[in-house]
Amino acid sequence: MVDAYFSLHKLTGPTQKSLGETFHRMAELLHANAADECGRLQFRILDGEKQSVWTLASVRKRWQVGEEEMEKPDFEIITDAETWWQVADGKLSPFRAFLQGKMRVLGNIELGKRVLARISAAASAPTDQGAK
C-alpha cells in the first residue's frame, strides 16, 4: 500500500521558481520510474485571477509536458499557486493538501496516487554516481 502522506521531493531549482520547471522535472522522474504507466494528467494552478494549466501525458513510453488544457484528462489537480509551491518544494504532502481543502482532485484517483508515488520514489532513489 502506498503511504498516502508521502511528500514529493524538491521539484524546484535552487534559485528561481518556474512552474514549467516543476512539470519538466516531474516528466524526467516519471520517465525514469514510470515508463510503463499510461495516463493524461492535468494541473490547474490558480494565482489570483490568473490560472496556468500544465499537462503530463504518456506518449510512446515518454512523459511529455504541455501547457494547453486537455479535453477529459484521466486525473486533474486544481490548487492555488502557494499550495503548489509547498508541494513542489516537498514541504506539503499532496494528500495533506487535499485533506486541508487546499487541493481538489478529479478523475482517476488511483492513477493520480500511483503517478505521484512514482515521482516521489524516483526522486528519492540513489543515483549511480556514488550516492548513499
Superfamily (CATH H level) for 19-123: SCP2 sterol-binding domain (3.30.1050.10)
C-alpha to C-alpha distance for 107 and 77, rounded to whole angstroms? 9
Sign of CA dihedral 46, 94, 59, 107: negative
Per-residue confidence (pLDDT) for residue 78, from 0 to 100: 97
Sign of CA dihedral 53, 54, 59, 61: negative
Q: Which residues pair with 45 in a beta bridge?
A: 52, 79
- The list of the chain residues with pLDDT below 70 reads 1-16, 34-35, 123-132
